[in-house]
Amino acid sequence: MSTGNVTAGISNVNVFNSFFPRVSNRRADCPYCSGHSRLTVALDPVKGVWFCHRCQKGGSVSELARAIGVAYKPRPSGKAQQKKTEFREFLLKKMAELGNRERKLARSAEWAKAALRFYPDHEGAWEALARWEHARPWFEHFWLLASCKSGRFELYCQWRGRGRDLWK
């Protein structure tokens, strides 16, 4: 095998795609089966294993990677894991930051309501009230997302796309 083929951190799916003659969804044609093989191989990209139901051959992604001469890291998700940790820190900071901002806006809205009882024309009070009413659905949406797993995943995807500018 030539070392020129070496690819750093190739994913399980890419190894399967390079090794098997034909891959379709989570199935592949078997190169070991004599005769015609039509998607007799079951692939599990998450566990990194494969198995042919016809010839009963099977194995791991790292073996396949060695066979086709590509470098394979046993934990290709290491980078993703790091991203997730980074995101968790980002989210915690964001929650504290937005919590503070929300409390401040809510407090000035309370003040504004009281002020407007005595000074119905108070511009600043109307503005404070409008700012709060305007921001409220935005905060509610954020807390809804932050409070459940699927919502946090959505935030994670947004964060991967837009980075730290998210929810400013």
Contact residues: Zn ion, CB under 5 A: 30, 32-33, 52, 54-55
Question: CB of 1: closest distance to Zn ion in angstroms?
Answer: 23
How many CA atoms within 13 Å lie on the side-chain side of 129?
15
Specify the residue, 30 or 43, whose C-beta has the smaller distance to Zn ion: 30
* CA proximity to 147, closest of 101, 103, 79, 98: 98
Residues in the chain: 168
Question: CB of 14: closest distance to Zn ion in angstroms?
Answer: 21
**95, 146 in Cβ contact below 8 A?**
yes
Question: CB of 9: closest distance to Zn ion in angstroms?
Answer: 28
Question: CB of 156: closest distance to Zn ion in angstroms?
Answer: 39
Sheet-wide strand order for 27-28: 23-24, 27-28, 41-44, 49-52, 58-60
